[in-house]
Structure 1
Amino acid sequence: MTYKIIDLFAGPGGLGEGFAAYKDKDRARFEIVLSAEMEAGAHQTLTLRSFFRHIRGDQKALNAYYRFCSMEGAPHPGELFPLAWHAARSEAHQLTLGNPEHNKVLEALLDKAKLKDDETVLIGGPPCQAYSLVGRSRNMGKMDYVAEDDHRHFLYREYLRILHLTKPAVFVMENVKGILSSRVGGKLVIHDILRDLTDPGQALGQTSGARYTIHSLVSRVKFVPGDDPSKVDAKSFIIEAEKFGIPQARHRVILLGVREDINYDGQWLLEESGELRVIDAIGDLPPLRSKLSRGDSDSAWSDTVIALAQALHVDAAKKNMSILALELKAGALSLGKAIETGALRYRFPKNNGGLTKFDNWVRDPQLEVWLNHESRSHMPSDLARYFYTAVFGQVYKRTPKGHQDFPLTGLAPDHANWESGKFIDRFRVQRFDAPSSTVTSHIAKDGHYFIHPDPGQCRSLTVREAARLQTFPDNYFFQGNRTQQYHQVGNAVPSLLANKIAHVVHKILTERSRAPSAG
């Protein structure tokens, strides 16, 4: 049995990738029949990945895919293999859910697919800007902001509508942890969401149809139709990704809905595994130097960053910060060794028998170059802060917090709130010896929260490094401009975590026993 997947608010496809890649007895058990995403760059990524899945068994087509990824100016593989490209475009659609015309298109596509409810799984999660703590903070600063009028609070109802329409056996819905404390009209949004998801038809003001029990993936907690949501510990639905073999402290609410007629009591949960650190995820990527925002060249970069590092070393020594001064000097000596800025040859371990599960998930021996692994350009003032922050992390085993941890001359940014206590970790190093902090869409704006732990590279993370922390395979080629690529990666569900969720869903679907029918 191959179960059919509908992926809504798909982004670049992290959640769908995990399901599509899931195998049992060496056979794929899930097939994405329809995915919907509104952003153009993410839709391009989604479509190209769908194409990649369609050509898996055709080495000639795969060679064309790898050439396209590796060589600028290589023909698009979809031009060379139009049938597979047509299949990919028939699966991945650029649609804005909530737009009446796009809703009609989606409904027509679903009708055409003729899905059987017992063989269908709905996945995805509505956009999270309205629920995230940072997003809510920004909204509070808008004088005319009214939460009840923010359509983003209710995009989950589009998910709800498709849930009612298709009546899948199982659904998986993901969102930020902030959804647990988000309120509209004085009421907790999560309570309404839990209540609505158990009976989508009734919530939409239509005839009650398929009903669902909402399960946690990490505990035996569940919410059944008719329950009082205030009596359920909603925190039980939080998945702490770092406990499940993901090199990132990403905490997200993931709701597992199982149709009421399927007799499932929550006996299958995600299995915890050993912690992965940043070095385990990105330590094998080739080093890169940062770029200068103006007048970039190897010599200009070396002259600039070495001068900045030496000035910080001298200042630290004058202020009797001896340990920090020594490490700043050592860091200055390592500058200039990582002189490339991108387009490096892909290296696959010769002795691949000792690869970890993570390595086997992300690595691809057919790749020729590292994809999406190019450094950003930064202003000299930020390079000084990045270099200092990386050295600080090595010395104190933490990221600097607040202005008091930036005592050296020239490090204070020109921000009115620098000494106010807000954004005390405005500059955050991702330490090699621990999981990273949550990769978010903010990485698209600047690299301040995502500083590479190696002072010698003096930069923020590349798209590929962020993608590794999100457990995207190395052959996942992100489309659009680099800002769009960062945004796609930051908003995605880690694909390896999704694969583990797919295992639980597959167990439910294959080992289920039907509840006795009425009468």
Structure 2
Amino acid sequence: MRYIDLFAGAGGFSEGFKRAGFEPVAHVEIDPAACFTLKTRLSYHYLNENKKLDIYIKYLKGEISRNLLYSVIPSHILGSVINLSIGDENNFKIFQMVEKLAGRKKIDIIVGGPPCQAYSLVGRARDRNGMRDDPRNHLYVQYGRFLKKYSPKLFIFENVLGLLSAEKGKYFKNIQADFKSFGYIVEPFIVNANEFGVLQNRKRVIIIGWKKDINFSFDQLKCQSRVEYKVGNIFNDLPKLSDGKGKDKYYEYAEGINDYLSFTRIRNGLDVLTQHITRPHTEQDKEIYRIAVRKWKRSKERLDYNDLPERLKTHKNRYAFLDRFKVVADDVPYSQTVVAHIAKDGHYYIHPDIEQNRSISVREAARLQSFPDDYYFEGVKEGKNRTAAFRQIGNAVPPLMIEKIAKLLIEYLK
């Protein structure tokens, strides 16, 4: 069963569907760094399926270059990553490329989620016009172009909860009407990643559409049982780091695997740790981090920005976003939502160990999103990718959640 991934990003959707047994036909993504990430992950899957993982391990250890890694991968696999923006100016070219990749084989499912900032409640609160003029409000129209072109049996459209309320529900009603016009029954389904084994409080709306001849039911999707682990499971086997430290390529684990890392396949036997790297912080920020960690450890209370000493208050806004400094508590079942802002600073993602006194590393953020440790997030330039990696991780869909949803949907596509 074959799928197209639109607005593919770092490949959270694609990883989940691939692990569930689907085959990718094409990934369409505008960000060049994310396209390299997709190509590297496709390289992993090809080498894994052909029992040549030693080549991929050499890449993770920094023993071979990215170009050398790609040189052993068939061109049609890397060519499935289409680095173009989805829109009227490029769609015809994208269609031609997809048809060349698919041949005569039918597309069974289309997946993806357009950029969500235009529907985000936080984004609308920060924007003077409430994001009304943002062109991303209408990217669902472009998604519809692909539904009309390929008429898959089923599609999944993922976005933030704000999609349902943006412009008093106008955009969602338009989406529903637009997609119904292509012959789909269209329903929204609100999911929380922590119900699928992801150690993160991440609520999203998934719009599922299916052809009328498919006897689809939401019941299975609503019956997920939360597996109880603690966030500390993602931290305790990693080497301790101070701010601005770590290695982009090969690192050794500090401890053996635990049940959560095994259950989720975050550690899957390859055991080559990469991108356990942290950003540097000012002394002022590190002092605030210590205050936030101590407050959580002592009383399980979050830091209110207005409670800081005056000398540490440099933000003019004293009325909103007062929880801008927040610990990723290790003694709770799930963390706060990981978002793309993590690429700008780590204040909302403070490591719970006061001795390390830093924000979380790239690898720790990826683990909160349920990406396996052998998933490498690329930059445009090889090796210069911390900010690009954080951005891709924050924008991603948790692959563990998508894998479980994909396994449920596969029964309806047989």
CA distance in 2, matches of 1:171, 1:120: 9
Structure 1 distance, partners of 2:254, 2:193, is 26
2:78 is the counterpart of 1:103: no
Q: Structure 1 residues 444-453 or 262-271, which shifts more?
A: 262-271
Which of residues 203, 210, 225 is equivalent to 1:251? 203
Do 1:282 and 1:468's aligned partners in 2 also have CA atoms closer than 8 Å?
Answer: no
Secondary structure in 2 aligned to 1:34?
Answer: strand
SS at match of 1:377: coil
Distance 1:453 1:508, change over 3 A: same
> Which residue among 298, 302, 310 is the counterpart of 1:395?
298
Q: State whether structure 2 residue 216 is matched by structure 1 residue 346.
A: no
1:125-274 equivalences in 2 (<5 Å) = 125-140=113-128, 147=132, 149-183=133-167, 188-200=170-182, 211-216=183-188, 237-269=189-221, 271-274=224-227
Structure 2 counterpart SS, 1:378: coil
**Structure-2 residue corresponding to 1:371:** 274
Aligned counterpart, 1:428:
326
CA contact (8 A) 1:78 1:85 kept: no
Residues 242 and 276 in structure 1, CA contact (< 8 A), matched pair in contact too: no
Q: Please point out which of 421, 443, 459 is paired with 2:358.
A: 459
Structure with the greater relative contact order (CA < 8 A, sep ≥ 6): 1 or 2?
2
Which letter does structure 1 place at the counterpart of 2:294? V
SS of structure 1 residue aligned to 2:27: strand
Structure 1 residue ranges without an equivalent (≥5): 23-28, 201-210, 217-236, 292-339, 511-519
Distance 1:372 1:66, change over 3 A: same
Partner of 1:205: none
Structure whose alpha-carbon radius of gyration is higher? 1
Give a deviation string over 1:289-330, Cα, whole Å, max 9, x none: 113xxxxxxxxxxxxxxxxxxxxxxxxxxxxxxxxxxxxxxx
Aligned pair partner of 2:58 in 44, 52, 67: 67
Note closer, same or farther for the CA distance 1:146–1:431 as it changes in structure 2 (3 Å cut).
closer
Q: Deviations for 1:448-504, whole angstroms, at most 9, x for unmatched residues? A: 111111111100011110000000010000111211110000000001001011111
Residue 146 of structure 1 deviates from its aligned partner by 7.2
Equivalent position to 2:22, from 22, 30, 33: 30
Q: Give the drift of 1:88.
A: 2.8
Q: For residue 168 of structure 1, what is the amino acid of its counterpart?
A: P
Q: How far did 1:264 drift?
A: 2.2
Tell me which moved more, 189-198 or 29-38: 189-198
Which residue in 2 is equivalent to 1:207? none
Deviation of 1:129 after TM superposition, in Å, equals 1.1
Q: Secondary structure at 2:277's aligned position in 1?
A: coil
User: TM-score by structure 2 length?
Assistant: 0.91
Aligned length: 405
* Deviation (angstroms), 1:13: 0.0
Q: Structure 1 pair 365/257, CA: closer, same or farther in 2 (3 Å)? A: same
What's the secondary structure of 1:10's corresponding residue?
coil
1:381-392 pair list within 5 angstroms: 381-392=284-295
User: 1:319 — aligned with what?
Assistant: none
Asked whether the equivalents of residues 243 and 275 of structure 1 are also in contact (C-alpha less than 8 Å), the reply is no
**For structure 1, which segment, 50-59 or 171-180, has the greater mean C-alpha deviation from structure 2 after superposition?**
50-59
Whichever residue aligns with residue 105 of structure 1, its letter is K
The within-5 A match list for 1:273-352 is 273-291=226-244, 341-342=246-247, 345-347=251-253
Counterpart residue identity of residue 39, structure 1: D
Q: TM-score, normalised by structure 1?
A: 0.74
Q: What's the CA shift string for 1:108-128, capped at 9, x where partnerless? A: 0222213554x5110001111
Identity, in percent, stands at: 35
Shift of 1:360: 4.7
Residue number in structure 1 paired with 2:382: none
**Match for 1:439: what amino acid?**
V
Which residue of structure 2 aligns with residue 308 of structure 1?
none
Give a deviation string over 1:92-147, Cα, whole Å, max 9, x none.
111101151x2122110222213554x5110001111111112112322x6xx872
Give the aligned residue type for 1:163: L
Report the Cα offset of residue 36 of structure 1: 0.6
